[in-house]
């Protein structure tokens, strides 16, 4: 009699433990959180080029920011139109972190890494190409904004940041 009781007890314990493990495993599979799904997340690059593929047409070569600072020349003159376009784009893509004046403190800065004041002389001395590549591929922490901006638009932002730095 005692053995049977012990056996039933053992089986119940096993079932409970098994159920617990199974429900833990299923929690991952059957999540109801819509944020947690196999989709492209903000700031994620949707497609990498296939390995060993050769870019045709207007594909840009990937440069480090240092190289870009040396070899890229700003082809867009800082006309009023370019500055206006740069300002509009800066407000959309940069001000959320860097603030409207480039001094930091945008609404996302508090939730992310607080960015530096990009109007100080240290950043003024960075070449245009370095700034362009920062916008395109980001910094050590800053996410690149290249996916959403054309080369012309990135140079417009470069021109506008230079304008902010002069103010
Ligand atoms: C999600 C927040 C975020 C966004 C959006 C963002 N930045 Fe940044 N940025 C940072 C942070 C944080 C740093 C400092 C760390 C780093 O360099 O990665 C930084 C650094 C920089 C620097 C200094 C790089 C250097 O070392 O010279 C420049 C210039 C800059 N950002 C410009 C921009 C411009 C222009 C845009 C819009 C196209 C932009 N950032 C969008 C967060 C952001």
What tokens were used for 165? 């730095």
CA–CA distance, 80 with 160 (Å, rounded to integer): 10
Q: What percent of the chain shows pLDDT beyond 70? A: 89
Given a contact cutoff of 8 angstroms between Cβ atoms, the answer to whether 97 and 115 are in contact is: yes
116 C-beta closer than 6 A to ligand 1:
yes
Specify the residue for token string 């012309």: 152
Q: Are 90 and 161 in contact (CB under 8 A)?
A: yes
Q: Is 110 in the pocket of ligand 1 (CB under 6 A)?
A: no
What pLDDT, on a 0 to 100 scale, did the predictor assign at position 16? 76
What local confidence, expressed as pLDDT, does residue 66 receive? 96
- The whole-number pLDDT of residue 125 equals 96
Q: How confident is the model over 97-124, as a mean pLDDT? A: 94
Q: Which residue has the higher pLDDT, 62 or 21?
A: 62
Q: Could you identify the atom of ligand 1 that is nearest to the CA of residue 114?
A: 12
Which tens digits make up the pLDDT trace of 39-96? Answer: 877 767 667 778 888 877 767 778 999 999 999 999 999 999 999 999 999 999 999 9
Tell whether the model's pLDDT for residue 36 goes beyond 70.
yes
Residue 29 has pLDDT above 80, yes or no: no
Ligand 1 atom with minimal separation from the 145 CA: 38
Residue 130 in tokens: 């370095």
26: tokens are 């299923």
Higher per-residue confidence, 29 vs 136: 136
Q: If you measure from the C-alpha of residue 132 to the centroid of ligand 1, how many angstroms do you get, rounded to a whole number?
A: 11
Q: Is the pLDDT of residue 151 over 80?
A: yes
Q: CA 126, CA 54: separation in Å to the nearest integer?
A: 31
Phi-psi label, residue 126: left if phi above 0, alpha if psi -120 to 50, beta otherwise: beta
pLDDT of residue 47: 73
Q: Is the minimum distance from the CB of 105 to ligand 1 under 6 angstroms?
A: no
Distances (CA, A) of 96 to 91, 102, 124, 147, 154: 7, 10, 21, 17, 17
Ligand 1 mean position, distance from CA 39 (Å): 25
pLDDT for the residue 138: 94
Q: Residue 118's pLDDT is what?
A: 97
- Cα distance between residue 159 and residue 85, in whole Å: 10
Residue 104's nearest CA partner among 147, 155, 145, 164 is: 164
Burial of 72 (0-12, 13-18, 19+ CB in 10 A): buried
């Amino acid at each position: 009699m005692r053995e049977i009781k012990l056996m039933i007890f053992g089986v119940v314990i096993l079932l409970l433990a098994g159920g617990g493990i199974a429900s833990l495993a299923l929690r991952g599979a059957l999540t109801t959180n819509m944020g947690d799904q196999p989709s492209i997340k903000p700031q994620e690059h949707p497609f990498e080029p296939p390995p060993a593929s050769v870019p045709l047409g207007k594909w840009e070569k990937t440069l480090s920011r240092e190289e870009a600072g040396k070899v890229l020349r700003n082809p867009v003159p800082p006309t009023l139109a370019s500055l206006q376009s740069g300002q509009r784009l800066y407000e959309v893509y940069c001000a959320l972190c860097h603030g409207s004046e480039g001094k930091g403190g945008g609404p996302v800065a508090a939730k992310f890494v607080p960015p530096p004041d990009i109007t100080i002389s240290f950043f003024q001395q960075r070449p245009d190409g370095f700034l362009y590549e920062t916008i395109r591929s980001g910094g050590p922490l800053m996410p690149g904004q290249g996916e959403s901006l054309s080369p012309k638009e990135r140079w417009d932002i470069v021109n506008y940041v230079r304008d902010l730095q002069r103010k």
